Structure 1
Amino acid sequence: MDGIELTQPGFKRLVLPNASLDLLAHGCRWTEGPVWFGDRDELLFSDLPNNRVMRWSETGGLSVYRQGGDFENGHTRDRDGRLLSCSHRGRRIHRTEPDGSITSLVERYEGKRLNSPNDIVCKSDGTIWFTDPHYGIQTDYEGGKQEAERPAAVYRFDPRDGSLRVVADDFQGPNGLCFSPDERRLYIVETGLQFAPDPVQHIRVFDVDEDGRLGGGDVFATISPGNADGIRCDEEGNLWSSAGDGVHCLDPGGELLGKIAVPTTVANLTFGGRHRSRLFLCAGQSVYAIYTNTRGASRP
């Protein structure tokens, strides 16, 4: 299969020999934060340095969804289907209402401003989990240099009572995150200090208890070449990770099953399409997609 590397025989049933890698969009600066809207048959993603959110659909092609969103990075949907976004320059998590207005949800913790929320997921109980590294306020390219007020951390926000708490604070640069299909595990990417000569870079896995507290935190896998950034689980619990050479698929034990080659570094990814079996890839200036023989994990 052209562009497919089978590290383990089990990867063969997850990919399709006749499925091509399709170029959907080009001409952005750095694509990030893909999120699928099945009820509208469209993909939203960030063109981060250009400070805009883009829309792609099979019938409508590429268009601008929102220009000037305070440099949004990661996106997801809440339990009511509303768009949740991580704002670098605004240093907050905000929600897009059905009428298009913006509601700020989280801006501060213990009186101090967040850094630059990066990636975000919503658990089936409605709680919102997000990473908050310093990346977005360390350069002018992705939002503008600002002073950090807090160490990097991972947070859990409950919109029902407005509570916000740190769930992990032993990261240098927390990045992508996702739950296992049963939500008993949380995977979090560590991409380390941005300008360090040899940053710590790997994926860690945590146990999630009924109160939303984390345990464990061992290294799950290290991605090479490049490093992990965005990650997603399929319905079988396999973890699909961005990488320097494309996409890597790992089984629930952390063993590499195989790779999908992409012409440029992949930053983030998500499952979508009619059956949640199409893998959308944000890669450099472009967005690609490829049909797979598995489906993205659905929330309980």
Structure 2
Amino acid sequence: MTLYDLRDPRFAGLIHRNAQLRQIGSGFEWAEGPVWFPLSQMLLFSDIPAHRMMRWTAESGCTIFREDSDYSNGNTRDPQGRLVTCHHGLRAVCRTEHDGSRTVLADSYQGKRLNSPNDVVVRSDGSVWFTDPTYGILSDLEGYRADPEQRGSYVWRIPADGGAPQPVITDFTQPNGLCFSPDESLLYVAESGSSHDPGVPSVIRVFDVQGDGVTNGRDFAVIDRGLPDGIRCDTNGNLWSSAADGVHVFAPDGTLLGKINVPEVVSNICFGGPRGNRLFITATTSLYVVAVNAAAAGWPG
């Protein structure tokens, strides 16, 4: 299997043809939610069914960061460098403070529990945006089986100063990964409902951000192998998405530029490393990394 599948000449400027895809961790049950911390040169990610969070550093490799993770899934950093995590087990979004304590940011709406928060991003104004599909309550594998209390699977926003979460997008089957464009004028959201209903299109949708909400939702790109899960934008507005066969990279106009082929189904991705130009890939049982000619939008924030 070749590493790259070039579909558009622009893809050549985003990769290094002599780079190698390296497996830097293995033996996980379902690796997810990678997030890079520049100050400590550390990657954190979730191993959801194993009920733990892992840490990777170049010096120590993979070690356990949190033994009892409450079935953590998606992770991100806020502007103050704190860890923000979606927990299937708690059915909540929590923030880990600098002293190690945890603060629950959202776990209910109008007296009803959330489904199972999945992925999360923090806007530069401090507001927290997250997706809430039902994956963590469908069985006891990645959380605790339960009936949903919300009327649907929504995208939510927590105000920067705290308070109750507010639904901002309500027409997804199973919203999953999400990210902002570099100027935060666009919000991308992955639709992963085809995991249980083949009639749901495997698309990434994009919305115009207006104030505290969004408008003008439309399809941005189609994933032709599997479904989209975790997504990230680079500094030039290209969108990088997980897929069944690897990582798909789309131009800001939605054109598929190319693919990075990975030997396992990819769940999520993030940029990191000392200069932000390493792409970390969580893929089923493994953690991979490859050097790219791109960095995360907002790097190194």
- 2:176 paired with 1:175: yes
How far apart in 2 are the matches of 1:197 and 1:180?
Answer: 29
Deviation of 1:2 after TM superposition, in Å, equals 4.0
What does 1:116-195 align with in structure 2 at a 5 Å threshold? 116-150=116-150, 151-192=152-193, 194-195=195-196
How far apart in 2 are the matches of 1:193 and 1:101?
Answer: 37
Letter in 1 for 2:78: D
Letter in 1 for 2:100: G
- 2:80 paired with 1:86: no
How far apart in 1 are the matches of 2:287 and 2:192?
Answer: 22
What does 1:59-78 align with in structure 2 at a 5 Å threshold? 59-78=59-78
Instruction: Tell whether the 8 Å contact from 2:195 to 2:227 is kept in structure 1 after alignment.
Output: no
How far apart in 2 are the matches of 1:152 and 1:29?
Answer: 25
Secondary structure of the residue that 1:50 maps to in structure 2? Answer: coil
Letter in 2 for 1:78: D
Structure 1 vs Structure 2 CA RMSD: 1.3
Deviation of 1:193 after TM superposition, in Å, equals 5.9
Deviation of 1:159 after TM superposition, in Å, equals 3.8
Instruction: Tell whether the 8 Å contact from 1:135 to 1:194 is kept in structure 2 after alignment.
Output: no
The answer for the alignment partner of 1:245 in structure 2 is 245
How far apart in 1 are the matches of 2:195 and 2:285?
Answer: 20
The percentage of aligned residue pairs carrying the same residue is 48
Letter in 2 for 1:247: V
Call closer, same or farther: CA 1:118–1:161 in 2, change over 3 Å.
closer
How many residues in Structure 1 have an aligned counterpart in Structure 2? 299
Letter in 1 for 2:43: L
Instruction: Tell whether the 8 Å contact from 2:130 to 2:156 is kept in structure 1 after alignment.
Output: yes
How far apart in 2 are the matches of 1:185 and 1:230?
Answer: 16
Q: Once superposed, which parts of structure 1, at least 4 consecutive aligned residues long, lie more than 4 Å away?
A: none
Instruction: Tell whether the 8 Å contact from 2:202 to 2:226 is kept in structure 1 after alignment.
Output: no
- 2:100 paired with 1:100: yes
Deviation of 1:105 after TM superposition, in Å, equals 1.2
TM-score (structure 2 length as normaliser): 0.97
Structure 2 gaps, min length 5: none
What does 1:204-223 align with in structure 2 at a 5 Å threshold? 204-209=205-210, 211-223=211-223
How far apart in 2 are the matches of 1:79 and 1:39?
Answer: 13
How far apart in 2 are the matches of 1:258 and 1:195?
Answer: 27
